[in-house]
Amino acid sequence: MDIQFTEEQELLRSSVQRLLRNQYDFDARRKIVASEDGLSRKQWGAFAEFGLLAAPFSEDVGGLGGGPLSTMIIMQEFGRHLVVEPFMETVVLAGGLIAQAGSDAQKRGFIPDIIAGTKIWALAWAEKGSRFDLAAVTTTARRDGGDYVLSGEKAAVIAAPWADYLIVSARISSSRDDRGGVSLFVVDRRAANLHLQSFKTIDGRRAAEVSLNNARGQLLGREGEGVAALEACRDRAIGALCAEAVGAIGELNSATLDYSKTRKQFGTTIGSFQVLQHRMVDMFIAHQEALSLMQHLNLSISAGEAGVSRLASGAKSKIGYAGKFVADQAVQLHGGMGMTDELNIGHYFKRISSINIQFGDPAYHLLRYARLDTAA
């Protein structure tokens, strides 16, 4: 099931690698995370210039037509470098939703600015108590002239403090949990009656609690189709997050292997201890399996295969547990150094912890994988 990458795809990978190697080493990242804004607009501009923000979009909206496989390539490299800029939120989540559900006018209006790197987006789907249920929405939307006005609270919206626009899920009718009552809306982040309370995330990003009190927004897609759109969006997001996780896992493994060959205790390198050798073999196997499953998932997403949503949940679970195992062991094998803020190991650990929360933890997706089988 190994992917034969096209020349274009190989070119994309090597250009992302070159860009990040030159401009996004661990020290550069540390400075970005510690800065007032918490992201680098300059880097974001460079991503646009290199065509990364255009890569997955189809040509008819100004993209390069690379689809989910180009997202996969980019995200895997971003995972290796712990990139904090909101490619996932802007391009994969919002860009994907606009391309999938937006009107022609919305596509023409919004996507070019995403591609040019001039507008950043965030997706506000979660609420207090919703956990990972996309349909558990209590925020309301009411039609008012050609627009809608939204009221409610959205929780833990990653990248919201950086964003120019938010996509917000809200309920037009009926009760909480009713799938058919939810729609998506585009809201200007600087709109009146929209308020943000920002906070830092464990992996060095910025997020916010968003409260809307009759804030104006425009409908994205059709009324009542919000949950279905979000579900397809989540599948793509999982494909991207799994690629990012695999990138991080690979880096953790090679750093741990290098360390075990140089760190000496009891007169020899710790890599000569059999118990640690077996541990690292298991880490290697976890990486190989995660890589294969991640590629399989993204190929299926790319081909639009039926049953991809179940596969996405399966991959999110399996790769989530693999990432957790590798991250735990990488910290353990680095000893005290693995606990420090100074070394990159702990930062990979935190990014993997965060990936394992975004759009549902491994236990949630294990169950979803099982249940979708019963339903079939």
Of 179 and 296, which has the nearer Cβ to other proteins?
179
Cα distance between residue 317 and residue 365, in whole Å: 5
Cα distance between residue 200 and residue 41, in whole Å: 18
From 22-30, 69-77, 198-206, 238-246, give the range in contact with other proteins by CB under 8 A.
198-206
Q: Which of residues 319-348 bind other proteins (CB under 8 A)?
A: 328, 331-332, 335-336, 338-342, 346-347
Of 34 and 306, which has the nearer Cβ to other proteins?
34
27 binds other proteins (CB under 8 A): no
Tell the smallest beta-carbon distance from residue 234 to other proteins (Å). Answer: 14
Tell the smallest beta-carbon distance from residue 201 to other proteins (Å). Answer: 5
Which amino acid type is present at position 343?
A: L
Binding mask 106-135 for other proteins (x = CB under 8 A): --------------------x-xxxxx---
Cα distance between residue 153 and residue 210, in whole Å: 6
From 103-111, 151-159, 247-255, 281-289, give the range in contact with other proteins by CB under 8 A.
151-159
278 binds other proteins (CB under 8 A): no
Query: Are 61 and 107 spatial neighbours (Cβ–Cβ below 8 Å)?
Result: yes
Rounded to a whole number, what is the distance in angstroms from the first to the last CA of the chain?
25
From 3-11, 26-34, 44-52, 196-204, give the range in contact with other proteins by CB under 8 A.
196-204
Tell the smallest beta-carbon distance from residue 158 to other proteins (Å). Answer: 7
Of 158 and 249, which has the nearer Cβ to other proteins?
158
Tell the smallest beta-carbon distance from residue 340 to other proteins (Å). Answer: 6
What is the DSSP code (8-state) at residue 33? H
Comparing CA positions, the residue from 376, 300, 316 lying closest to residue 352 is: 316
Cα distance between residue 21 and residue 36, in whole Å: 24
Question: Which residue from 3, 276, 299, 372 is in contact with other proteins, where contact means CB under 8 A?
Answer: 276
Helix (H, G, I), strand (E, B), or coil: what is residue 139? Answer: coil
Tell the smallest beta-carbon distance from residue 207 to other proteins (Å). Answer: 6
Query: Are 286 and 325 spatial neighbours (Cβ–Cβ below 8 Å)?
Result: yes
Residues 230, 232, 238, 244, Cα dihedral to 10°: -100
151, two tokens: 């009221």
Cα distance between residue 348 and residue 330, in whole Å: 9
Binding mask 158-177 for other proteins (x = CB under 8 A): x-------------------
Query: Are 252 and 345 spatial neighbours (Cβ–Cβ below 8 Å)?
Result: yes
Please identify which residue in the block is written with the tokens 């906070």.
199
Tell the smallest beta-carbon distance from residue 75 to other proteins (Å). Answer: 18
Cα distance between residue 189 and residue 171, in whole Å: 19
Tell the smallest beta-carbon distance from residue 38 to other proteins (Å). Answer: 12
Residues at the contact surface with other proteins, assessed by CB under 8 A: 126, 128-132, 155-156, 158, 197-203, 207, 209, 264-266, 273, 275-276, 328, 331-332, 335-336, 338-342, 346-347, 349-350, 353-354, 357-358, 361, 363-364, 367, 371
